[in-house]
């Protein structure tokens, strides 16, 4: 049996950083409790894929499961054993509540993909702790090469979470409430 992955912010963001999985979670929140068989056709995926994705979201501490005979029903519910699951679920519920268009999903995906790698979380923490940080300080503190640091900083800058000017990096004011919530979670991760 494979070892259980520790639910962490970057793994949770990676699990959520998929338009269909976000849509699936939104439908669970709107219709809870709901079965896999009812959800799969609504999202346009197979029952098998739907089941796998729901188990993935459950392992991240975002869903609760109830079995009734051969049926499995999912509801949104934070797992108290999973660090930060309550805060993440609250933030994602609020963000999904206003999702109506593809652009709305893109905005959520943009914020999530900023934190889909543990190095980016580490970089944000170092910048925040120092008020601002030089690229040299980040390379030394995070034990990261210059090309890798550049890629991570570029992704964070594209998502409006970090600004880089003349080799100095600072935390930027996030564009959305959801991005701000993720930034707070990253700083407390």
* Helix, strand, coil share (%) of the chain residues, nearest 5: 60, 15, 30
CA–CA gap between residue 168 and residue 87 (Å, rounded): 31
Topology of domain 114-188, CATH: Arc Repressor Mutant, subunit A (1.10.10)
Task: Please state the pTM of the whole predicted model.
Answer: 0.89
pLDDT in the model for residue 70: 86
Q: Which residue in 83, 23, 86 sits closest to 50, CA to CA?
A: 23
Query: Helix crossing, 177-188 with 85-97: angle to 10°?
Result: 170
Which residue spans of the chain are classified as CATH 1.10.10.10?
A: 9-100, 114-188
Say whether 59 sits in a helix, a strand or coil. Answer: helix
pLDDT averaged over consecutive 10-residue blocks of the chain (189 residues)?
62 95 95 94 96 95 92 93 92 92 91 96 96 94 96 96 95 93 93
Topology of domain 9-100, CATH: Arc Repressor Mutant, subunit A (1.10.10)
Q: Which residue in 142, 135, 141, 139 sits closest to 119, CA to CA?
A: 142
């Amino acid at each position: 049996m494979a070892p259980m992955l520790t639910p962490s912010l970057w793994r949770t963001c990676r699990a959520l950083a998929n338009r269909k999985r976000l849509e699936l979670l939104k439908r669970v929140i709107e219709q809870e409790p709901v079965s896999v068989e009812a959800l799969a056709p609504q999202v346009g995926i197979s029952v098998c894929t739907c089941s796998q994705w729901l188990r993935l979201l459950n392992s991240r501490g975002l869903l609760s499961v109830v079995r009734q005979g051969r049926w499995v029903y999912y509801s949104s519910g934070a797992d108290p054993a999973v660090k930060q699951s309550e805060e993440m679920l609250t933030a994602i519920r609020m963000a999904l509540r206003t999702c109506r268009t593809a652009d709305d999903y893109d905005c959520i995906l943009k914020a999530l993909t900023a934190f889909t790698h543990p190095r980016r979380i580490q970089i944000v923490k170092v910048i925040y702790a120092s008020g601002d940080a030089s690229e040299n300080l980040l390379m030394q503190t995070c034990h990261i090469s210059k090309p890798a640091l550049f890629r991570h900083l570029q992704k964070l800058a594209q998502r409006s979470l970090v600004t880089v000017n003349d080799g100095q990096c600072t935390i930027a004011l996030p564009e959305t409430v959801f991005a701000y919530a993720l930034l707070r979670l990253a700083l407390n991760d």
